[in-house]
Structure 1
Amino acid sequence: MDCVKLVFFMLYTFLCQLAFSSSPPHLCPKDQALALLQFKNMFTINPDASYYCDSSHPRTLFWNNSTDCCSWDGVHCDKMTGQVIELDLHCSQLQGKFHSNSSLFQLSNLKRLDLSFNDFTESLISPKFGESSSLTHLDLFDSGFAGIIPSEISHLSKLHVLRIGGQYKLSLGPHNFELLLKNLTQLRDLNLWDVNLSSTIPSNFSSHLAILTLYNTGLRGLLPERFFHLTDLESLDLSFNPQLTVRFPTTKWNSSASLMYLNLYNVNFTGRIPESFSHLTAVQELDMSHSNLLGPILWNLTSIEILYLNNNHLEGPISHFSRFKKLKTLSLGNNNFDGRLEFLSFNRSWMQLEILDFSSNSLTGPIPSNVSGLQNLRQLILSSSHLNGTIPSWIFDLPSLRLLDLSNNTFSGKIQEFKSKTLAGVYLYQNQLEGPLPNSLLNQPILMFLLLSHNSISGQIASTICNLTMLTVLNLRSNNLEGTIPQCLGEMNENLWSLDLSNNSLSGTIDTTFSIRNSFRVISLHGNKLTGKVPPSLIICTYLTLLDLGNNQLNDTFPNWLGDLPYLKILSLRSNKFHGPVKSSRNTNLFPQLQIMDLSSNGFSGNLPISLFGNLQAMKKIDVNTRTPQYVSDQFAGYYDYLTTITTKGQDFESVQIFATNIIIDLSRNRFEGHIPSIIGDLVGLRTLNLSHNVLEGHIPASLQNLSVLESLDLSSNKLDGEIPQQLVSLTSLEVLNLSHNHLVGCIPKGKQFDTFENNSYLRNDGLRGLPPSRDCGRYDRVPQSTIPLELDQEEEEEEDSPMISWQAVLMGYGCGLVIGLSVIYIMWSTQYPAWFSRMDVKLEHIITTRMKKHKKRY
Structure 2
Amino acid sequence: MDSVKLVFFMLYIFLYQLAFSSSSPHLCPKDQALALLQFKHMFSINPDASYACFDYTGIQSYPRTLSWNKTTNCCSWDGVHCDETTGQVIALDLRCSQLQGKFHSNSSLFQLFNLKRLDLSYNDFTRSLISPKFGEFSSLTHLVLSRSSFAGLIPSEISHLSKLHVLRIGDQYGLSLGPHNFELLLKNLTQLRELNLHSVDISSTIPLNFSSYLINIRLPYTELCGVLPERVFHLSDLEFLYLYENPQLTVRFPTTKWNSSASLMMLYLYSVNITGRIPESFSHLTSLHELYMSDSNLSGPIKPLWNLTNIEFLDLGNNHLEGPISCQLSIFEKLKELSLRNNNLDGGLEFLSFNKSLTQLEYLKFSSNYLTGHIPPNVSGLPNLKQLYLSSNNLSGTIPSWIFSLPSLTVLDLGNNTFSGKIQEFKSNTLSQVYLNLNQLVGPIPNSLLNQPSLRILLLSHNNINGHIALAICNLKELIVLNLRRNNLEGTIPQCLGVMNENLWNLDLSKNSLSGTINTTFGIGNYLTVISLYGNKLTGKVPRSLINCKYLTLLDLGNNQLNDTFPNWLGDLPGLQILSLRSNKLHGPIKSSGNTNLFPQLQIMDLSSNGFSGNLPKSLFGNLQAMKEIDESTRTPQYVSDPYANYYDYLTTITTKGHDYDSAPILATNMIIDLSKNIFEGHIPSIIGDLVGLRTLNLSHNVLEGHIPASFKNLSVLESLDLSSNKISGEIPQQLASLTFLEVLNLSHNHLVGCIPRGKQFDTFENTSYQGNDGLRGLPPSRDCVRDDRVPQATTPAEQDQEEEEEDSPMISWQGVLMGYGCGLVIGLSIIYIMYSTQYPAWIHVYRVAEDADKILFLSYFVMFP
What TM-score do the two structures reach when normalised by structure 1?
0.91
CA separation of 1:606 and 1:127: change in aligned 2, threshold 3 A: same
Map of 1:178-577 to 2, 5 A cutoff? 178-299=183-304, 300-322=307-329, 323-577=331-585
Is this contact kept in 2: 1:59–1:74, CA < 8 A?
no
Deviations 1:306-333 (A, max 9, x none): 1110111111211255143321111001
Structure 1 residue matching 2:81: 3-state secondary structure: strand
CA separation of 1:609 and 1:362: change in aligned 2, threshold 3 A: same
Is this contact kept in 2: 1:59–1:73, CA < 8 A?
no
Work out the CA distance in 1 between the residues paired with 2:327 and 2:72. 64
Q: Give the Å deviation of 1:52.
A: 2.3
State which of 141, 146, 166 in structure 1 corresponds to 2:146.
Answer: 141
Is this contact kept in 1: 2:556–2:651, CA < 8 A?
no
Q: Give the Å deviation of 1:106.
A: 2.7
Match of 1:647? 655
Match of 2:599? 591
Unmatched 5+ stretches in structure 1:
800-809, 842-859
State which of 121, 124, 130 in structure 2 corresponds to 1:119.
Answer: 124
Identical aligned pairs, as a percentage? 75
Counterpart code for 2:487: N
Q: Give the Å deviation of 1:797.
A: 7.5
Q: Give the Å deviation of 1:624.
A: 1.2
Work out the CA distance in 2 between the residues paired with 1:14 and 1:352. 63
Deviations 1:165-194 (A, max 9, x none): 223221112411111111111111111111
Deviations 1:496-555 (A, max 9, x none): 211111111112222222232211111111111112222222222222111111111112
Deviations 1:350-404 (A, max 9, x none): 0101111111111110100000020111110011110000000000100111111
Work out the CA distance in 2 between the residues paired with 1:726 and 1:429. 50
Is this contact kept in 1: 2:684–2:709, CA < 8 A?
yes
Matched, 1:167 2:172: yes
Counterpart code for 1:826: L
Match of 1:40? 40
Work out the CA distance in 1 between the residues paired with 2:429 and 2:40. 46
Is this contact kept in 1: 2:327–2:355, CA < 8 A?
no
Match of 2:861? none
Counterpart code for 1:496: L
Q: Give the Å deviation of 1:196.
A: 0.6
Work out the CA distance in 2 between the residues paired with 1:240 and 1:126. 28
Work out the CA distance in 1 between the residues paired with 2:782 and 2:633. 44
Structure 2 residue matching 1:421: 3-state secondary structure: coil
Map of 1:802-813 to 2, 5 A cutoff? none
Match of 1:613? 621
Structure 2 residue matching 1:703: 3-state secondary structure: helix
Is this contact kept in 2: 1:532–1:553, CA < 8 A?
yes
Work out the CA distance in 2 between the residues paired with 1:652 and 1:835. 55
Deviations 1:756-789 (A, max 9, x none): 1111111111111111423211353459765786
CA separation of 1:260 and 1:75: change in aligned 2, threshold 3 A: same
Structure 1 residue matching 2:474: 3-state secondary structure: helix
Is this contact kept in 2: 1:626–1:661, CA < 8 A?
no
Deviations 1:815-845 (A, max 9, x none): 978854742663796799999995999xxxx
Structure 2 residue matching 1:129: 3-state secondary structure: helix
Q: Give the Å deviation of 1:140.
A: 1.5
Is this contact kept in 2: 1:604–1:670, CA < 8 A?
yes
Match of 1:60? 64
Is this contact kept in 1: 2:267–2:292, CA < 8 A?
yes
CA separation of 1:716 and 1:102: change in aligned 2, threshold 3 A: same
Is this contact kept in 2: 1:211–1:233, CA < 8 A?
yes
Match of 1:855? none
CA separation of 1:21 and 1:68: change in aligned 2, threshold 3 A: closer
Deviates more, 1:729-738 or 1:499-508: 499-508
Q: Give the Å deviation of 1:473.
A: 1.3
Is this contact kept in 1: 2:562–2:585, CA < 8 A?
yes
Work out the CA distance in 2 between the residues paired with 1:560 and 1:824. 68
Structure 2 residue matching 1:171: 3-state secondary structure: strand
Match of 1:700? 708
Work out the CA distance in 1 between the residues paired with 2:480 and 2:851. 73
Is this contact kept in 2: 1:173–1:198, CA < 8 A?
no
CA separation of 1:429 and 1:132: change in aligned 2, threshold 3 A: same
Unmatched 5+ stretches in structure 2:
832-846, 858-866
Is this contact kept in 1: 2:327–2:351, CA < 8 A?
no
Work out the CA distance in 2 between the residues paired with 1:37 and 1:429. 62
Structure 2 residue matching 1:826: 3-state secondary structure: helix
Deviates more, 1:488-497 or 1:70-79: 70-79
Match of 1:802? none
Work out the CA distance in 1 between the residues paired with 2:41 and 2:856. 96
Work out the CA distance in 2 between the residues paired with 1:70 and 1:475. 62
CA separation of 1:19 and 1:795: change in aligned 2, threshold 3 A: closer
Matched, 1:751 2:750: no
Match of 1:622? 630
Work out the CA distance in 1 between the residues paired with 2:163 and 2:359. 46
Q: Give the Å deviation of 1:294.
A: 1.4
CA separation of 1:8 and 1:380: change in aligned 2, threshold 3 A: farther
Deviations 1:455-501 (A, max 9, x none): 11111222222222221111111111112222222222222211111
Map of 1:95-106 to 2, 5 A cutoff? 95-106=100-111
Deviations 1:426-447 (A, max 9, x none): 1111111111111111121221
CA separation of 1:41 and 1:460: change in aligned 2, threshold 3 A: farther
CA separation of 1:650 and 1:38: change in aligned 2, threshold 3 A: same
Work out the CA distance in 1 between the residues paired with 2:535 and 2:95. 55
Work out the CA distance in 1 between the residues paired with 2:643 and 2:447. 29
Structure 2 residue matching 1:38: 3-state secondary structure: helix
Work out the CA distance in 2 between the residues paired with 1:818 and 1:376. 94
Is this contact kept in 1: 2:28–2:88, CA < 8 A?
yes
Provide the aligned C-alpha RMSD in A. Answer: 2.9
How many residues of Structure 1 are paired with residues of Structure 2 in the alignment? 825
Deviates more, 1:355-364 or 1:43-52: 43-52
What TM-score do the two structures reach when normalised by structure 2?
0.90
State which of 752, 763, 768 in structure 1 corresponds to 2:771.
Answer: 763
Deviations 1:218-243 (A, max 9, x none): 11111100000000100001111111
Work out the CA distance in 1 between the residues paired with 2:814 and 2:277. 84
Work out the CA distance in 2 between the residues paired with 1:492 and 1:528. 22
State which of 659, 670, 673 in structure 1 corresponds to 2:667.
Answer: 659
Deviates more, 1:60-69 or 1:474-483: 60-69
Is this contact kept in 2: 1:502–1:525, CA < 8 A?
yes
CA separation of 1:623 and 1:261: change in aligned 2, threshold 3 A: same
CA separation of 1:518 and 1:243: change in aligned 2, threshold 3 A: same
Structure 1 residue matching 2:496: 3-state secondary structure: helix
